[in-house]
Chain A
Amino acid sequence: MVTPLAAQGADDDAERRLRFRAVFEREFDYVWASLRRLGVHPREVEDVAQDVFVHVHRRLDKYDPARPLRPWLFAFAARCAADWRRLARHRIELLGVEREAAATAPAADAVLEQTQDADLVLRALEHLDPERRSVFILYELDECPMKEIAASLGIPLFTGYSRLRVAREEFTAAVRRLRPQGGGP
């Protein structure tokens, strides 16, 4: 016999699953891209994305729909990416693996150029401290207002701007170093 309480619990679970799936399907690509920008190795993104969404599922009830979803998700991604970085085994093989794979894929000029831009940005981001990198990604790439960034990362507004200022300098310097000679804008 199904009690009213049990039925209510089943309804809650079903609703929770639906809500989670809606978030997942809408933002999976964003979380994936964010993890890459946060420096997670391509081979590991799937595992780390899994961690992110497990956390997201557990905290979904706390999400305020009145606020933008992406900065909220990004905070989980940043946390999980930081955890990933702390594993010593990942520090050894951070770079260089994906280059060969990318180079083997044929690409039209426009696609190739876009890929090169994205690759340059990813490599320049690697030169940023993780905390500043998060602010920079959210502000410059995701175009989030600093107020939302500060709220989602749990930092004072002033700190957010301070990190952004330094991050811009570091990112620009990295791009200048990494950009091939004669490379376009």
Chain B
Amino acid sequence: MNEPGIPPLDDDVRALVRRAARVDPAPAGASVRVLERVERIVFGPPGGGSGGANRDNPPGDAGPGAFRSALRLARRVAPLAASFAAGGGVVAVAMHRAPEPPRIVYVDRSLATPPATESRLNPQPMPPQAPEAAAPPSAPEAPRANAPTGALATASPSRDQLTAERQLLDLARGALEREEPERALDATARHERKYPNGALVQEREAMAIRALVMLGRVGEAHERADRFRTRFPQSLLLPTIDATVGTAHRP
């Protein structure tokens, strides 16, 4: 498209843009997860109840960002919340509903970073067709598990190292979600080689154990879980690991 008075894009750049203009499908499963979360917020939890942040929320509604965080915390961290104390946190255990496998998620906060107080949704106005959507959600973001984990953080790494560790484990987590346990195990092995005693060693072990179970290597999974219990007897991830290996009979 060209408009009078505006120099057009060069041909090569235009061609590049056209090639990149296609809308590719979002990652598998993303739409289902997002729809579920949105409907929980706007309609409330399935089966009734008033837990959702629907349009009837009273004044002072913290807005969807905060509710999202709150829901996420409630769903994923609630079973462990009592164990959390102040400090720098990096990980929470996702305890989904019974039929779903336990999932490990990160709380996106470094050990040294103070919690953000800015809401994801701040008072800047929405576009003109959506003025009410700018309803000023001024409450701080719901507290993500940015505290805690004395038991989880086994070291005080630099932010760079934490980021690097997390990138590796993100690969593992993504592979587990795609049901590619071999890739997940490969990523955890890489993490183990690079960061044998890293800050996210417990998360690595939890994912590795899950990958082993998915591969049917149940004996190895149990052995690794046993070593984990010995090494981290107070770990917040133990319920997850127990649930993972609990579904697989020890040979």
Contacts and interface: CB of A to CB of B under 8 A. Distances in A.
A140 B15 CA distance: 11
A33 B24 contact: yes
Contact of B6 (A20, A24, A63, A161): A161
Contacts of A142: 21
Interface in B1-42: 1, 3, 5-13, 15-17, 19-21, 23-26, 30-31, 33-35, 37-39, 41-42
B129 interface: yes
A18 interface: no
Given A46-B33, A51-B65, A92-B159, A62 B129 contact: yes
Contacts of A32: 26, 30
B20 A146 contact: no
B9 A172 contact: yes
Contacts of A175: 13, 16
B167 interface: yes
Contact of B68 (A33, A50, A84, A168): A50
A177 interface: no
B55 A54 contact: no
A185 B133 contact: no
A50 B37 contact: yes
Contact of A117 (B16, B23, B38): B16
Contacts of A20: 42
A122 B21 CA distance: 11
B124 A141 contact: no
B126 interface: yes
Interface in A82-118: 82-84, 86-89, 92-93, 97, 100-101, 104, 114, 117-118
Nearest to B9: A168
Contacts of B13: 171-172, 175
A80 interface: yes
Contacts of B37: 50
A49 B53 CA distance: 17
B147 to A, nearest CB: 15
B187 to A, nearest CB: 9
A175 B65 CA distance: 34
Contacts of A47: 68, 120
Contact of A89 (B21, B34, B35, B116): B116
A172 B10 contact: yes
Nearest to B106: A43
B16 A121 contact: yes
A59 B120 contact: no
B248 interface: no
Contacts of B83: none
Contacts of A86: 118, 122
Interface in A15-60: 17, 20-21, 24-25, 28-30, 32-33, 43, 45-47, 49-51, 53-55, 57-59
27 contacts: A17-B39, A21-B35, A24-B31, A32-B26, A33-B23, A46-B30, A50-B64, A51-B64, A54-B64, A58-B133, A59-B129, A79-B126, A79-B127, A79-B134, A80-B121, A84-B120, A86-B118, A88-B116, A89-B109, A97-B170, A100-B167, A117-B19, A118-B20, A121-B20, A164-B6, A185-B11, A185-B12
Q: Which 9 A-B pairs have the closest CB atoms?
A: A75-B127, A154-B128, A54-B64, A185-B12, A32-B26, A121-B20, A55-B133, A28-B31, A118-B20
